[in-house]
Structure 1
């Protein structure tokens, strides 16, 4: 089962593989408009450990892991959070 979301110009492709009834292993890959030097895993499947997950958890965890990876590639956004965390 595949699902794709977009974040900061990159596509996060999540692949769920059924391990048992209603449980899935999760992998994701990131594709984007550029391939920065030193980023070896861009476009390659990255397995998320800690599973198996329910379908809803797998989609959430995959999107969060993908977003974190994009943030590492591009650096932090200069937009402060919507709350008073700073």
Structure 2
């Protein structure tokens, strides 16, 4: 069983996500290996989407 964290490094507006550059624990774990990978990928993509969307709103 695996716990999942997500972290985004290097960006001009990381403050949009809260604690810039820190690992964020994904809730509702632990997960099996396959689910952990899927959830980590989804969480990372959501973070990137939030950063890109925030850049376009400025």
TM bin, normalised by shorter chain, reads: 0.7 to 0.9
Segments ≥4 residues shifted beyond 2 Å: 37-42
Q: TM-score, normalised by structure 1?
A: 0.53
Alignment RMSD = 1.9
Higher strand share: 1
Structure 2: gaps of 5 or more residues: 54-58
Point out where structure 1 has 5 or more consecutive residues left out of the alignment: 1-22, 76-86
Deviation for aligned residue 1:36: 1.1
Q: How many residues align?
A: 53
TM-score (norm. length: structure 2): 0.75
Cα 1:50/1:63, change in 2 over 3 Å: same
Structure 1 position 31, deviation (Å): 1.5
